[in-house]
Structure formats: C-alpha cells, structure tokens
C-alpha cells in the first residue's frame, strides 16, 4: 500500500474528509448518481482562512474513501458562491439535459451582500450533463430573487405525491420558507416556518417511524442542529414537536443529507462541517464529520431523531479487541494494552453500583455521570437515560476529532480536539463502585487515504 504524501501530515484526519489544501466549511450539493456519492463544499482555494467561496467537489463510492476533483462552481458576476444543494432531474423537468446522462442540478446562493451590499443574495442554479465533471450556470439566473435579509442556502427535494420540487430557504432571523416548482426554474412561495435560535442552512426530509414505511414524519432541520418533527403535504409543514436536538458536541454545524439515494438502499445519510477545529501548521483547515444514518424512533417522550455512523466504517477496520461479561472495578483498565490514534469503539456497560463510568482517549475524558445521567466530553454534555441500567456507546476517534453516539444514536456528540502527540493511550474506567462490560469491541482503523500500489 502507498499513501499520497499530502495526506500524511501529523494532524490530517485519516477517515474524515478534508480538502487537499486550504479552507473548507459547509457541505453542499450532496447527491448520489450512478454509483458515486457527490460531496461539494464551501472552499477557499487560495488561503487557509475563510474567504471568497467556491464549491469544491469530491466523489466516493463508499462514503469513506474520497477523491477530490475539479472545483464545480466558481464566483461570477452575481457574486461569491454560498451554500446550497443538488438533485438529479430524472424526468428532465428543467429541460437542461442534453445527452444520455441525466442532468445534475445544483442550487446555491450567489451574492456578496454580506460584504458588498450592492450585490444582494439570490438563488441560482448550475447544471451538469457529464456526471458532475463540468458545470454550466443557467443563463437566466437567478431563479429566485432576493426576498429579505441575506436569504440563502436553498435545499431542494422532489415531493413525489404532489409531483413538484420543493425548496427550503433560510430568510432572516428565525424565519424560513418553502417554495414549490414544476421545473426547477420557476418558484412559488408555499409556506413559512419558524425555527428559533437556529439560523441558516435548512434541510427537510421524510423518514419512516420505527422502520414502518406506512407511518412517516418529516424533519425540518437548521444549521446548528435544531429541528422540528412534523407532517408535510407538499404545501405546508406542520410541526408536531417542540424544537429538538440530537447533536450536542462542540463542533457540528450546517449538516445536510444526501439526495437520490437508491430505493434499494433507502437510508437517510447526513454529513456536517466540524466547525472550529484547530490544525496548526497544516496545509488545510477544517474537516467534515463522519457520515451518519438518520432514523426516527418512538420514545417515551415522543418520536425522536437518532443518528449513527454509516456501516461503511467497517471497510477500514483492522485489528479487533473483544471483551464480554467483564467486571470493571475502579482499579482496572481493560484497554491498557492498546494504543493508537484511529479507533471505532463499541461498548455496552451495565452500570452496577458505579457512580461514574467512561473512557479516556488520548488524555481526553469521555464520562458518564450515573447519578445525573449526563454524558460529557470536551466541555459539552448531553442527557442520556440508561436502558435497564445499561448504556451503549459508539466512539469514533480520528487524529483531531472524537465523535460519540449514545444508546444507538439517541444522542450524538461531535467534537474536535488537538491531541497530545505523545499520548495514544486508551483507558476504560469505573468509579464509586463496580460496573460490568457486557460487551466491548475496539477496532483499530486504517487510513482511508491509503490506495493500492499501482
């Protein structure tokens, strides 16, 4: 095996996507077409800090191994290129298809009004007829003019029951709106939605409840992870929940889900920008989260969103360490013989009479306070109720991030950290009493940047 020297840097994440070089932020234009997952992203190709935005572009066949290709959307006379989404126009409703390949259509905000008031934020489209390798701006852009404020971040979906395209758009403050279109070019306002204390980067998607496709709900999502669960009839979204959260970590923002996942797969897949990580003396800046699958499940509090890493993490597993039915006393560390910087850790722990259980990963503590039912790491906490006095944890450890998923994803915590380079230890502990490891699997992972030798 060999690895591109560009991806060997000491703080380079090894299974989280990063741009080859320079600044990265929001994931954009997520779609699947003919065996490829497309990941576009806000990118400053000329510097390590946020700046004039383009759409960078990467593709993958498995959500783990990514290849960065040519930039997709560059700034033009309408201004900088901000966040947005993408769809496959399967029926050529837009009339933009010119060959045998279906047209891929991306939606983005153009404008410089945040830095240049004379160029307001408007919504535009570009399209590709060669599987996303080259892009053409629609000649009659914008397809939706300025409405209010810095209105931005169009997320477009196909609503099959009413046979129309639907766009979710951030307007201003707590205000969002939905728009409808028959052809991706002409848009009519459908309804308004309020999502307090959130701001920008909307998403809207339908999920079955407890896997029952006859019982579905819609999720309306905002940039900081706040979301509503409710119903949508193609014209109006009606919330049935209060504002909810699943993600409680320090560094998760602007998450978006993939469009056009095949019916044979039918997962709702999401990725986010891990905003605010530190990467000193690196040629790149910022990273994405690891892709996750979203589901809706019934809980005693009502229907709630769950989030778990995609199963494709298994493609980079190496050595496995296994324990079953092991007592865990305050003086023991089952993991004392393991060290490294890339892990997928899965554990189910019976809390017993312990007052605290947890792990220490490269010096960073992941702790569960049994009395307060609080899961904490890197300065953030989330309530996690035990299940029959047990908790389940999955923890993904990369060189600069720790992502925690509690009780099959009832809560998730995605956080960045800057590790002690000399400390690659793992520690599993219980304090205040004895706990039991019902089962534990520690998988050492390999780099996703490794490529077979030619």
Determine the Cα–Cα distance for residues 252 and 246; give it in Å rounded to an integer. 11
Side-chain-side CA neighbours of 186 within 13 Å: the count stands at 4
Determine the Cα–Cα distance for residues 286 and 153; give it in Å rounded to an integer. 20
List Cβ neighbours of 264 (8 Å cut-off, separation of 6 or more).
none
Determine the Cα–Cα distance for residues 307 and 21; give it in Å rounded to an integer. 29
Q: Which residues are paired to 232 by β-bridges?
A: 237
Tell me if residue 147 falls in helix, strand or coil. coil
Tokens of 247: 């993600």
The alpha carbon of residue 270 and the mean position of all alpha carbons in its chain are separated, in whole angstroms, by 4
- Provide the 10 A C-beta neighbour count for residue 414: 29
Determine the Cα–Cα distance for residues 210 and 225; give it in Å rounded to an integer. 21
89 counts as catalytic = no
Active-site residue (options: 26, 260, 344, 398):
26
Tokens of 377: 């790491």
Determine the Cα–Cα distance for residues 69 and 95; give it in Å rounded to an integer. 27
By annotation, the residues acting in catalysis are 26
């Amino acid at each position: 095996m060999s690895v591109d020297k560009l991806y060997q840097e000491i703080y380079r994440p090894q299974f989280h996507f990063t741009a080859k070089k320079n600044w990265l932020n929001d994931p954009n234009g997520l779609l699947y077409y003919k065996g490829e997952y497309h990941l576009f992203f806000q990118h400053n190709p000329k510097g390590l800090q946020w700046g004039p935005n383009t759409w960078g572009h990467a593709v993958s066949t498995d959500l783990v191994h990514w290849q960065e290709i040519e930039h997709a959307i560059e700034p033009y006379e309408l201004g900088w290129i901000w966040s947005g989404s993408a769809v496959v126009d399967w029926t050529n409703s837009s009339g933009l298809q010119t060959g045998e390949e279906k047209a891929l259509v991306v939606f983005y905000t153009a404008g410089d009004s945040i830095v240049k008031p004379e160029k307001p934020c408007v919504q535009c489209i570009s399209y590709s007829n060669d599987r996303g390798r080259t892009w053409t701006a629609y000649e009659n852009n914008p397809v939706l003019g300025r409405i209010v404020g810095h209105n931005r971040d169009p997320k477009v979906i196909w609503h099959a029951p009413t046979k129309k395209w639907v766009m979710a758009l951030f307007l201003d403050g707590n205000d969002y709106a939905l728009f409808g279109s028959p052809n991706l070019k002409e848009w009519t306002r459908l309804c308004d939605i309020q999502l307090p204390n959130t701001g920008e980067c909307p998403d809207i998607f339908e999920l079955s409840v407890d896997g029952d496709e006859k019982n579905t709900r819609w999720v309306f999502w905002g940039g900081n992870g706040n979301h509503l669960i409710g119903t949508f009839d193609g014209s109006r979204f009606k919330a049935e929940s209060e504002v909810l959260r699943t993600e409680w970590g320090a560094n998760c923002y602007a998450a978006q889900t993939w469009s056009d996942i095949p019916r044979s797969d039918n997962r709702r897949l999401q990725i986010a920008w891990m905003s605010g990580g530190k990467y000193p003396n690196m040629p790149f800046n910022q990273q994405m989260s690891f892709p996750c699958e979203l589901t809706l499940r019934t809980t005693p509090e009502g229907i709630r969103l769950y989030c778990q890493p995609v199963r494709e993490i298994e493609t980079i597993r190496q050595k496995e360490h296994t324990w079953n039915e092991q007592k865990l006393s305050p003086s023991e560390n089952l993991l004392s013989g393991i060290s490294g910087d890339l892990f997928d850790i899965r554990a189910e722990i019976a809390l017993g009479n312990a007052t605290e259980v947890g792990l220490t990963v490269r010096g960073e503590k992941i702790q569960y306070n049994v009395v307060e039912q609080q899961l904490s790491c890197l300065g953030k906490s989330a309530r996690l109720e035990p299940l029959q006095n047990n908790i389940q944890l999955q923890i993904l450890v990369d060189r600069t991030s720790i992502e925690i998923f509690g009780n099959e994803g009832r809560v998730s915590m995605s956080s960045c950290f800057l590790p002690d380079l000399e400390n690659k230890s793992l520690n599993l502990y219980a304090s205040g009493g004895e706990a039991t490891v019902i089962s534990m699997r520690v998988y050492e992972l390999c780099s996703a940047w490794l490529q077979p030798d030619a």
